[in-house]
């Protein structure tokens, strides 16, 4: 299973991105996905998180992600020293920043800059939707396009697709870009033991298809 | 928990003893959260030299985080901000008539964020130079502090009302 | 058509397909986006119905009853304190035999005040005469919106149905759903026809009183007709499979229970994590199963007794508590259903998820571990365990 944690402040569009990624996986990539935010009252500027889970089989565990294959920080001010407690082994942290980061687990992306160049305004959330297909195989760029079309109002499709494409190209052209294999886990083994078992059970076990 | 500093939580020690506090839904006021400040990306700084103690910021703060610092006689001598609860909304800076509250980057770069509240250090200094600071910052509440663009009007009213 | 929707959005899609004639709407977290989505559909003319903004939940159900009493198919939705606020209307609606469908977004009850998902709201109102069904995921929620009307409006039933959808875990979580085509939904659900309504052509007395002489007959047939709903549920699900292509398994959804030694009984979305853990245990050689109760009223007594007759230990995992009682409402239900049919297996009650707390994989593993010990003769049968308090994790034994 690929799990993604999105960190942002209310109003920055983290949940929209989480949903869009889930839609990309579920509607286009033929996977199963869940997307949800931290639940509760909110306001603009309040720190929040959103979550996307992607797997080959229906996902029964709806609890908050503890450790994720990808952790995204849309807002650098939310980063503190213990950020890697949320990162699974072999996972990657994507950080919206202009500065260079000397940590192989961190992919620094000037998301504000990329979106400003395309749109004239910093809309960092969509940039990460373009970065993720460059970093793992869970969803392709086309899947993300489909996710955008399914999630966002029509008048925003073209702009967001352009940002996504620009971000993808910006990343794909980097030398030594890290990569998460398979369903997102680095090395290609997506913890297949349990997944294969679940798949086998679905074929032969009791219970509804609900 | 990575978001510990961003969410309010019980004052230290209390959280370990729900069997004490969870027997009713009534508890001493103000105790249930110790910190609720991870929301800031900008923080307000009051310039105590310029401050006229008009109490506008004190009144307008939506979270009531601005408090009076009293001298030995109990007279309000300055205003301070409880940064454990300040959320950086900038209302105080906007309503300050001097103006002497600057919104600076929370990460401590020291840069004044212009354009958020219209306050800048230059403007504060300008007003001082133009003699538009009409009183000392150390007055107590019993004296109404009048701020005016026209020194003549102030004279006509006798300075205190 | 495949869409990526929240539980609330999915439910609204199902309601639209059911073609209600009157919707009475009052918002409450975590249900609000259902009635908002329906309002948008009405505004856009993709749903033709009377949409009433009422000023409280009590009025929402009273208005739904009034509309139903004219023969209209009606819908309303609520949660938690809203459900309690309309509680006196619940027995009016059920005793009046009005086949209203109401979505209840399961949420904790105050005090302390809490907006997150647990199941205390609906589980504290099992005796109010409504059919109660619990969705596990957003697809089931959508499909139940349609199936609930078919069950409710069947002449042999004629009872209101409460469709329970876990607050936030389902209502606000996005997953993919298949939205049936309108033709399929219409083939499944015909328009509502009833004699239980005002009619100038055939004047009726409706919603009247009944004193000591005859009152008990109303209660008796209400009870009998609810029990008979089991047959109707099966017929409805067969028809749903034929028209809309998805098959549901009746009052309970039994997963790997056939040869199980340890069975965990639960409701709603918690079944997902329970099945994951059961699979883990099976892979390690332990015969574990999960019995998800879908319809809690009418009680699936026969199915419970049959499924549990041969197990070594049974656990009931639920998100509610009956204060001062012998555990939660589901535990009592399961024990009574078994006892009445001569089945008495060692059992434990696990109270979890209260106030929206996550039920974690580790907690479910610990539940099965407790069942394993009980099956081996260790530990006290009948114990009520509060997860995160008087289990290993909470340490407050």
What is the domain-level CATH number for residue A91?
A: 3.40.920.10
The whole-angstrom separation of Cα C373 and Cα C262 is 10
Question: Is A151 an interface residue toward C (CB < 8 Å)?
Answer: yes
Say if A130 falls within a structural domain.
yes
**Stronger pLDDT, C149 or B31, i.e. the higher one:** C149
Q: How many CB pairs under 8 A join A and C?
A: 111
Chain A residue numbers touching C116 (CB-CB < 8 A): 39-40
| Model pLDDT, residue A93 | 97
Smallest CA–CA distance, residue B30 to chain C, in Å, is 17
Highest mean pLDDT among A42-51, A147-156, B3-12, B86-95: A147-156
Say if A207 falls within a structural domain.
no
Model confidence at C60, in pLDDT bands (50, 70, 90)?
very high
Residue B2 corresponds to which tokens in the numbers above? 């990575």
Partner-chain residue, chosen from A45, A49, A75, that has the shortest CB–CB distance to B3: A49
Partner-chain residue, chosen from B6, B88, B89, that has the shortest CB–CB distance to A47: B6
Class of the CATH domain delimited by B39-140: alpha beta
* Domain assignments of chain C as residue spans, ordered by start: 2-244, 252-386
On whether the CB atoms of residues C330 and C384 are closer than 8 A, the answer is no
Which of A189-198, C127-136, C202-211 has the lowest average pLDDT? A189-198
| Model pLDDT, residue A200 | 37
Q: Which helix (H) or strand (E) holds A109?
A: strand A106-109
Model confidence at C137, in pLDDT bands (50, 70, 90)?
very high
Question: DSSP labels for A126-163?
Answer: HHHHHHHHHHBSSS-HHHHHHHHHHHS-GGGHHHHHHH
Residue B56 corresponds to which tokens in the numbers above? 């506008």
- Residue whose token pair is 């229970």: C257
- Residue whose token pair is 């996902």: A59
Residue of A nearest to B40 (CA): A45
**Stronger pLDDT, A46 or B127, i.e. the higher one:** A46
Is there a contact between C174 and A36 if contact means CB atoms under 8 Å apart? yes
Is there a contact between A45 and B3 if contact means CB atoms under 8 Å apart? no
* The domain over range C2-244 is classified in CATH as 3.40.50.300: no
**For chain C, what percent of residues have pLDDT higher than 70?**
99
Residue B58: pLDDT over 90: yes
Say if A149 falls within a structural domain.
yes
Is there a contact between A22 and C175 if contact means CB atoms under 8 Å apart? yes
| Averaged pLDDT, C371-396 | 89
Say if A13 falls within a structural domain.
yes
Residue ranges, CATH 3.30.70, chain B:
39-140
Model confidence at B140, in pLDDT bands (50, 70, 90)?
very low
Residue of A nearest to C359 (CA): A63
Model confidence at C302, in pLDDT bands (50, 70, 90)?
very high
Smallest CA–CA distance, residue C113 to chain B, in Å, is 9
Is there a contact between C111 and B19 if contact means CB atoms under 8 Å apart? no
Q: What DSSP designation does B112 have?
A: B
- How confident is the model over B96-106, as pLDDT tens digits? 998 889 888 77
B68 has which bridge partners?
B79
A50 has which bridge partners?
A6, A37
| Model pLDDT, residue B6 | 55
- How confident is the model over C270-288, as pLDDT tens digits? 999 999 999 999 999 999 9
Residue of B nearest to A46 (CA): B39
Which of A179-188, B32-41, C242-251 has the lowest average pLDDT? A179-188
Residue A158 corresponds to which tokens in the numbers above? 């073209």
Among A65, A207, A209, the strongest candidate for a mutation testing the C interface, having the largest count of C CBs within 10 A, is: A207
Residue A170: CA count within 13 A, CB half-sphere: 22
**Arithmetic mean of pLDDT over chain B:** 66
Residue A196: CA count within 13 A, CB half-sphere: 6
Smallest CA–CA distance, residue B22 to chain A, in Å, is 21
**Arithmetic mean of pLDDT over chain C:** 96
On whether the CB atoms of residues C28 and C81 are closer than 8 A, the answer is yes
- Residue whose token pair is 């019995």: C291
Model confidence at B117, in pLDDT bands (50, 70, 90)?
very low
Residue C230: pLDDT over 80: yes
Say if A23 falls within a structural domain.
yes
The whole-angstrom separation of Cα B112 and Cα B6 is 24
| Model pLDDT, residue B118 | 38
Smallest CA–CA distance, residue B18 to chain C, in Å, is 10
Among B25, B26, B27, B32, the strongest candidate for a mutation testing the C interface, having the largest count of C CBs within 10 A, is: B25
* The domain over range C252-386 is classified in CATH as 3.40.50.1820: no
| Model pLDDT, residue A53 | 98
Count: domains in chain A:
1
What domain range includes position A25? Answer: 2-184
Residue B3: pLDDT over 60: no
**Stronger pLDDT, A113 or C63, i.e. the higher one:** C63
Residue of C nearest to A26 (CA): C176
Is there a contact between C396 and B25 if contact means CB atoms under 8 Å apart? no
The Cβ of residue B116 has, within 10 Å, a number of other Cβ atoms equal to 16
Model confidence at B11, in pLDDT bands (50, 70, 90)?
low
Q: Whole-model pTM?
A: 0.85
The Cβ of residue C116 has, within 10 Å, a number of other Cβ atoms equal to 20
Say if A201 falls within a structural domain.
no
Instruction: Please give chain A's pLDDT, 210 residues, in tens.
Output: 999 999 998 888 999 999 999 999 999 999 999 999 988 777 777 889 999 999 999 999 999 999 999 999 999 988 888 999 999 999 999 999 999 999 999 999 999 899 888 878 777 999 999 999 999 999 999 999 999 999 999 999 999 999 999 999 999 999 888 888 656 554 333 333 333 333 333 333 333 333
- Partner chains of C (3+ C-beta pairs under 8 Å): A, B
Model confidence at B132, in pLDDT bands (50, 70, 90)?
low
| Model pLDDT, residue B124 | 46
Measured on CA atoms in the order A83, A86, A92, A95, is the torsion positive or negative?
negative
> Which B residues, 17 through 36, put their C-beta within 8 Å of a C-beta on chain C?
19, 25
**For chain B, what percent of residues have pLDDT higher than 90?**
11
Model confidence at B153, in pLDDT bands (50, 70, 90)?
very low
| Model pLDDT, residue A186 | 40
Partner-chain residue, chosen from A46, A75, A82, that has the shortest CB–CB distance to B2: A82
Residue B84: pLDDT over 90: no
């Amino acid at each position: 299973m690929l799990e993604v944690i999105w960190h942002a402040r209310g109003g920055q569009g983290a949940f929209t991105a989480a949903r869009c990624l889930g839609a990309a996986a579920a509607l286009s990539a033929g996977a199963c996905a869940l997307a949800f935010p931290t639940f509760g009252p909110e306001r603009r500027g309040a720190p929040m998180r959103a979550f996307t889970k992607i797997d080959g089989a229906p996902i029964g565990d709806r609890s908050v992600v503890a450790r994720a294959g990808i952790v995204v920080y849309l807002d650098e001010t939310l980063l503190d020293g213990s950020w890697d407690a949320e990162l699974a082994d072999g996972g990657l942290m994507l950080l919206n920043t202009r500065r260079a980061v000397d940590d192989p687990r961190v992919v620094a992306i000037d998301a504000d800059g990329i979106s400003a160049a395309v749109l004239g305004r910093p809309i960092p959330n969509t940039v990460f939707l373009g970065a993720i297909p460059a970093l793992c195989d869970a969803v392709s760029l086309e899947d993300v396009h489909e996710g955008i079309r399914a999630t966002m109002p029509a008048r925003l499709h073209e702009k967001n697709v352009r940002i996504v494409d620009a971000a993808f190209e910006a990343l794909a052209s980097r030398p030594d870009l890290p990569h998460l294999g398979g369903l997102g886990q680095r090395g290609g083994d997506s913890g297949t033991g349990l997944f294969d078992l679940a798949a086998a059970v679905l074929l032969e076990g009791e219970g509804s298809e609900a | 928990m990575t978001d510990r500093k961003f969410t309010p939580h019980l004052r230290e020690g209390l959280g370990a003893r729900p069997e004490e506090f969870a027997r009713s839904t009534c508890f001493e006021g103000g105790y249930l959260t110790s910190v609720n400040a991870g929301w800031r990306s900008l923080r307000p700084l009051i310039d105590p030299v310029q401050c006229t103690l008009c109490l506008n910021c004190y009144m307008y703060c939506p979270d009531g985080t601005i408090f009076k610092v009293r001298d030995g006689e109990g007279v309000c001598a300055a205003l301070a901000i409880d940064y454990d609860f300040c959320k950086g909304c900038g209302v105080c800076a906007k309503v300050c008539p001097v103006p002497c509250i600057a919104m600076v980057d929370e990460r401590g770069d020291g840069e004044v964020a212009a354009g958020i509240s219209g306050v800048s250090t230059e403007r504060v200094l300008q007003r001082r130079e133009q003699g538009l600071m009409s009183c000392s910052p150390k007055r107590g509440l019993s004296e109404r502090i009048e701020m005016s663009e026209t020194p003549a009007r102030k004279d006509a009213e006798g300075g205190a009302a | 058509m495949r869409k990526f929707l929240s539980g609330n959005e999915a439910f609204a899609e199902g309601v639209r397909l059911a073609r209600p004639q009157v919707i009475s709407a009052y918002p409450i977290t975590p249900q609000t986006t259902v009635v908002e989505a329906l309002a948008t559909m009405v505004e856009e003319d993709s749903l033709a119905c009377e949409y009433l903004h009422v000023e409280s939940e009590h009025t929402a159900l009273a208005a739904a009853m009034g509309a139903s009493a004219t023969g209209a198919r009606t819908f309303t939705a609520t949660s938690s304190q809203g459900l309690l606020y309309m509680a006196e209307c619940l027995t009016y609606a059920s005793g009046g035999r009005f086949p209203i469908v109401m979505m209840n977004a399961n949420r904790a009850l105050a005090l302390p005040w809490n907006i997150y998902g647990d199941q205390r709201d609906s589980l504290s109102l099992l005796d109010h005469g409504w059919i109660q069904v619990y969705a596990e995921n957003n697809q089931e929620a959508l499909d139940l919106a349609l199936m609930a009307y078919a069950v409710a409006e069947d002449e042999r039933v004629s009872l209101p149905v409460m469709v329970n959808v876990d607050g936030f875990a389902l209502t606000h979580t996005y997953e993919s759903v298949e939205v049936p085509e309108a033709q399929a939904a219409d083939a499944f659900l015909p328009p509502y026809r009833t004699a239980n309504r005002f009619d100038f052509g055939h004047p009726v007395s409706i919603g009247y009183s009944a004193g000591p002489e005859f009152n008990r007959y109303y209660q008796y047939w209400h009870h009998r007709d609810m029990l008979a709903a089991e047959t109707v549920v099966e017929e409805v699900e067969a028809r749903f499979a034929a028209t809309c292509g998805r098959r549901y398994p009746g009052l309970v959804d039994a997963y790997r229970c056939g040869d199980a030694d340890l069975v965990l009984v639960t409701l709603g979305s918690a079944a997902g994590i329970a099945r994951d853990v059961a699979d883990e245990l099976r892979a390690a050689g332990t015969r574990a199963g999960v019995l998800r109760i879908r319809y809690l009223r009418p009680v699936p007594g026969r199915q419970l007794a049959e499924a549990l007759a041969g197990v070594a230990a049974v656990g009931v995992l639920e998100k509610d508590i009956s204060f001062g009682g012998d555990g939660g409402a589901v535990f009592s239900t399961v024990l009574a259903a078994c006892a009445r049919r001569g089945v008495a297996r060692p059992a434990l009650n696990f109270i979890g998820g209260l106030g929206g707390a996550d039920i974690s994989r580790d907690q479910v593993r610990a539940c099965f571990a407790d069942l394993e010990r009980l099956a081996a003769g260790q530990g006290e049968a009948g114990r009520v365990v509060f997860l995160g308090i008087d289990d290993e994790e909470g340490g407050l034994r």
